Amino acid sequence: MTNAAYIPEALADVPRASWPRHIAIIMDGNGRWARSRGLPRIEGHRRGAESVRCVTEECAKLGLKQLTLFAFSSENWRRPRDEVNALMDLYRKFLIEQRPTILKNHVRFVPIGRRDDIPAEVLAEADRTVELSAKATGLTLCLAVNYGSRGEIADAARSLATRAARGELDPATIDEETFASALNTAGMPDPDLLIRTAGEMRLSNFLLWQLSYAELWVTPRLWPEFRQPDLHAAMRDFAGRERRFGGLEPATNA
């Protein structure tokens, strides 16, 4: 449900046609936020979950099409077992506690990433949220959990190769659209804007295919401190850029 009447003061002079439709965020800095305050790392993750709630609600109010958040990478399993267990439990609790808010704001929840190794009780809550929000017509909240873009691309190639070997697909017909349809994000628009917090200047194996033409915006703000004004600042900056997609004339977001 697009809230066409809601325009925050920070974006009052920015035409809606210049807003990004799909924002992706690499949420970085939870551990650093906690360490700087002498707190356990999990406290940073808990505070980061509050940022997820605030940003999701704001994107829904703004009427954006999609918000994709990098929550847990396939490489994060290498972290200490206690931290991984705490993160999985935090994800489960987030799904339960925020489900009423997700439904109230007409948000459609879609997780991406491999289901392997994710605890069954976490998958059950994720599947429940997917089911209950499936018909929502507002913002799509895509949460990348146990996700790695190289693995996603390899999985897509394997899937297409298997179909070709079975005679279900002519290899000569495989183009970019066909390949994109085999990715976790099939049917989703590519992100217009990628935000990365904590000042890091890398993609970290996130949406490598989908971010091909995204605008990048990096802030030194740690993710637990990221709030609506930071989101608005990123959107303002995005609106002032010229997106050419390899052409000579700026492209519009309409």
Minimal CA–CA distance to 180: which of 147, 152, 148, 206?
152
Q: What strand order describes the sheet that includes 215-218?
A: 108-112, 140-147, 66-73, 22-26, 193-196, 215-218
Q: How many CB atoms lie within 10 A of CB 114?
A: 15
Determine which one of 3, 13, 30, 76 is catalytic.
Answer: 76
Structure tokens at 230: 């930071």
Structure tokens at 177: 């659209």
Catalytic site residue 76? yes
Q: How many helices (H) and strands (E) in the chain?
A: 7, 6
Determine which one of 28, 190, 192, 230 is catalytic.
Answer: 28
Catalytic site residue 28? yes
Structure tokens at 194: 């990628």
* DSSP labels, 173-197: G--HHHHHTTSTTTTSPPPSEEEE-
3-state secondary structure 233-253: HHHHHHHCCCECCCCCCCECC
Helices (H), the chain: 30-35, 41-62, 81-104, 120-133, 149-165, 176-180, 228-239
> Which residues are identified as catalytic?
28, 76
